Chains A and B, each alone.
Chain A
Amino acid sequence: MPKYEVDEAKLRQLEEYIDSLSNKEGALIPVLYKAQEIFGYLPKDVQLFIARKLGIFAAKVYGVTTFYSYFTMQPRGKHVINICMGTACFVKGADKILEEIKKELDIKEGNMSKDGMFSVDTLRCVGACGLAPVVMVDGKVYGRVKVEDVKGILDEYRKREG
């Protein structure tokens, strides 16, 4: 069997999931979904493994991975920060909040911080426009966020991890 440079236990978990599928045809998207749930992201070797396991071309797997914005090839941090870039949040200065978070963590959008603690993404409207600008961390909503609040929010999670 070819070597895959990813966590072996996780790979076995994914393999079990694929083996449990009664019909592998058309299963690519659910499998990618599951793989991202297990690994947090979809590195090249995981995609290769999926391609070989499902008997489809690696290029096709890569094509689907890159098509859907839900799938990511960037590792995710322990905590996922999402900044709402919807109209209301944007008008209320969400871009400045994003800049501050990027500066504080020294990373680019879509990437993971060096310590693996955070990754940063943007999304469009969480439906809480009254609270604009909105920042979400692991699904927890922070409303009316100001630039000077950013450090405090991040510290909350840093402290929790000790």
Chain B
Amino acid sequence: MINITINDIKLQVPYGTTILDAAKMANIHIPTLCHLNLHDINMVNRTASCRVCLVEVEGRRNLAPACATECFEGMVVKTNTERAIRARRTMVELLLSDHPTDCLVCEKNGNCDLQRLAAELGIRKIRYEGEKSTYTKDSSSGALYRNPDKCIMCRRCETMCNEVQTCGIYSAVDRGFETVVAPAFNLPMIDTQCTFCGQCVSVCPTAALTEVSYVDKVWEALFDSEKYVIAQTAPAIRVALGEEFGLNPGDNVTGKMVAALRRLGFKKVFDTNFAADVTIVEEAKEFIDRLNGKGRLPILTSCCPSWVKFIEHQFPELLDIPSTCKSPHMMFGAIAKTYFAEKFNIDPEKIVVVSIMPCIAKKYEIQRKEFKHGNLQDVDYVITTREFARMIREAGLDFTKLPDEDFDNPLGESTGAAVIFGATGGVIEAALRTAYEWITGESLGNVEFNEVRGLKGFKEATVKIKDMDIKIGVANGLGNARKLLEDIRDGKRFYHAIEIMACPGGCINGGGQPYHHGNLDIVKARLEALYKLDKSKPLRKSHENPAVIQMYKEYIGEIGGEKAHKLLHTHYTKREKI
């Protein structure tokens, strides 16, 4: 421990503590901008590039960045001297002098760290005038929107992408005033190995990185009387959407969410969870087939489009191990435009499927050519939790006062197994519940597999099924996935089944969720809420979903059969590293 003094407050801090952390212990607030510490997922951005946290250190000539300066014995720090306050304000003014400052019409209005800081520091005038950077905007992926004009060079996206997700899309390119955070060779994002996980969007303090919005397209479809617009909602939405309306993280707002969708004009409000149950019966069947020697082990889950694109670029030699199952919302799209359309006698050409997702990669996924049949696309639009909240506000709905309503049938029914898809470990747990019963022919007493739950980046479990020890691996975050896959490729580790989610924590922390602003307790609350929801469901095993059973009986036939393959399965493409 070392002794320091901050603003005349004496305190002891452990060796290696930064001034910023020490100040927090003394309840002293030092403004920050580029700094971000996501301790739970091992992501620390300590570039000290914005210089907003400058403080005075006695005996030091220059001001010190509090986020990157470690305390030393006897250190005396002053955070609120005239010099420090002026310097901070100057830093922000300089940042603003090369910023579009179009806050009123900016997609981050109200959610922007730079805007918040300008308010906090009482900036009323930008004293500096000069050249402003203008760069090409990139929406080539139809998923991720890059607007480098709004970049403040905090490099959070780089840290997230390089260190946590190990995709290495961004680098500082050029130098001096010309510097821009950009992909290799300034390529359009769609030509890079970007998986569109959107974690860079989650941590971008401004609107330099956001999603490509389809809100206008969805409104257009909703107002078109020729169209039959239906919604499906991902599991992770219902425990996060409330945050946008002042409710607590993890508050389950399923009923209000359904009510809101109806009031926005969706003809039917369905649940992606229904399709998650379908995914499980298909995937469990495929798993059992592979256990019986038909195909290679391990089987990898394929629900996460970002993870799928990652393996296509990074491990093209392993493309025979992911399950061939489409992701649940793509299965839903295919089912909606065939089974549902036929059953209710609706022209599939008129059906518009809108997926409400915690995800940005799903916007890319729906454009993949495997999911287009003639001029019909399985899913037409994907909007994020944030975009959905925006639509609710635009329509003037008082969200918290909406009544609780139920999903429509038949594609609205689901089990507890489906709802946990939204958390890391959930898909494999759901698959185990079904596979166990199918292999043993016995009923599973305790359906909860606690070893695969929780935010840890990598989890494993061994499950005894009949006389077999089934080894399960779970990775979340693409960096963790990469390590796992390298070991699988090199034969260093063996598992029977593996679940991978691109985002740390799974979909509850997806790139399309309400911004967490560096507070991962929000994500933990969402996680707990999903398991609570699972527990509250009368049915907790996917293969017991009566609506799923009925659909197979009426339309699809055999699980894993020919029609199932045509509608519910897909294939993968080798891609290059770039």
Contacts and interface: CB of A to CB of B under 8 A. Distances in A.
Interface of A: 2, 44, 47-48, 51-52, 56-63, 66-67
B175 interface: yes
Interface of B is mostly: loop
B527 interface: no
Nearest to B577: A52
A67 B184 contact: no
A57 B163 CA distance: 11
B175 A66 contact: yes
A58 B172 contact: no
B312 to A, nearest CB: 14
A57 B576 contact: no
B174 A58 contact: no
Contacts, number: 44
**Nearest 7 CB-CB pairings of A with B:** A57-B168, A63-B171, A58-B184, A59-B171, A59-B184, A62-B184, A66-B174
A46 B170 CA distance: 19
Interface string B170-182: 1111110000001
Interface of B: 162, 168-175, 182-185, 576-578
Contacts of B172: 63, 67
Nearest to A69: B175
Contacts of A57: 162, 168-169, 171, 184
B46 to A, nearest CB: 19
Contacts of B174: 66-67
A39 to B, nearest CB: 16
B171 A2 contact: no
A2 B168 contact: no
A51 to B, nearest CB: 8
B173 A58 contact: no
A67 B175 contact: yes
Contact of B185 (A52, A56, A62, A67): A62
Nearest to A57: B168
A63 B179 CA distance: 10
A21 B184 CA distance: 25
Contact of B168 (A44, A47, A59): A59
A62 B171 contact: yes
Contacts of A51: 184, 577
Contacts of B578: 48, 58
A60 B171 CA distance: 6
Nearest to B172: A63
